Amino acid sequence: MNTKPRHGLYLLLLLLLSILFSCDKQSTEPQLSPHSPLDPPPVPAQILVEGGSFTFHNLSVQIDSFYMDKYEVRQDHYNAVVYGFSKVDAKQNDIPVYYVSWFDAIKYCNLRSRLEGFDPVYSYDSYGNDPALWPSNWADPQRINRKLHFDNSVDGYRLPTEAEWEYAAGGGKLTRHCTYSGSDTLSLVGWHKLNSGTSVHPIGWLRPNELGFYDMSGNLWEWCWDARPASLNPHNVASSPAYTGFKRALRGGAYNSSELRCRVDYRYWALPGTNRSPSIGFRVCRNAG
C-alpha cells in the first residue's frame, strides 16, 4: 500500500490553516489609526520670549514677557482641538494648518485653553468664553469691536499682537537685526516663491531664528490680533486690543510671497471671516505670568 502523503492535499490543508489564523489575528487586534482620539497629538512646544523694548514702526514700545508656539499650528493638532479628532492623513502630520480664518484661530485659542486648564482670553457678548455657547452669527466682522472681548490679564492662549509677533520674529533680546526671521538670506530660514515649489512645507525644515522659532518668514502668513486702524495710521502701540476696523493683521509672508513680503517688518491685512486661504495659518501665544 502506498502510505506517502498526498502533497496536494497537504499543501491545501496548510493554506487553510494559515488563512484561519490570519483572520483570527485581524479580528482580535485593535485597529487604531495614527490619529485616533485615544492618542491625540502632543501639546505644541512653546518658547519663552523675555520682554523688552524695541522700535515698532517708528514707535518705541515695551513688550511684556510671553510664551509663543515654536512652530505654526499643525493640521493634526488643530483638528484634535477643534473637532476632537484629526481628519488628516498621517503624511500631513507636520504640515501647518491653512484655510483658517481669523475667527477660526480665535475659536481654537479658547478651545485649547479649556482643554489645557487655562482661562480663555476671548468672550463673546454675554455668552461667556465657551465657543460652543456662542450664537451662530458670532463670526460677523461687523460685531468684532462691539461684541468680541479680549481679556489680556488671564493665562489662556491668544493670537499675538503685531508688536509681539514682530518682536519674537526679530529675535527679541537676542536680536541680530536680520532682515528676515533669523537671517539676512531668506532661503536659509523661509519658504517663499523662489524656493518653495509653490506649496506649503512641513514645519521646522529650515533654520530657526535667534530665539528658536521656525518659519516666521515665509511658509504661511500668520494671523495677529490687531485690526487695521480706521485712520490707516501704521503706528500701532504694543499690546492694546482696542483698535477699530474690520481687517486683521497678517505677518511673515508665505510660500508664494516675494522676499519683500517675508521681511520681519512687513505688514499686511485681510478680512477676518472670508479670507480663508491656502497661504494663511497662525501660531498662538499666552502671557508668561
Q: Give pLDDT, residue 87.
A: 65
Domain tally, the chain: 1
What is the rounded CA–CA span in Å between residue 279 and residue 123?
A: 28
Q: Report the CATH number at residue 121.
A: 3.90.1580.10
Residue 191 lies in a domain: yes
- Does residue 50 lie in a domain region? yes
Residue 24 lies in a domain: no
Q: What is the pLDDT of residue 88?
A: 62
pLDDT at site 91: 65
pLDDT digits (tens, 9 = 90+) for 190-206: 999 999 999 999 999 99
CA distance 103 to 89: 25
Classify residue 7: in a domain, yes or no.
Answer: no
**95 falls within a domain:** yes
Q: Would residue 203 count as lying in a domain? A: yes
d(CA 109, CA 89): 23
Range of the domain at 262: 46-287
The most distant pair of C-alpha atoms in the chain lies apart, rounded to whole Å, by 107
Task: Answer whether residue 40 is part of any domain.
Answer: no
Low-confidence ranges of the chain (pLDDT < 70): 1-41, 86-91, 229-245
The phi, psi pair for 30, rounded to 5°, reads -65, 140
In a domain, 16, yes or no: no
Query: pTM of the predicted model, to two decimals?
Result: 0.82
Q: Where on the phi/psi map is residue 166: left (φ > 0), alpha (ψ -120 to 50), or beta? A: alpha
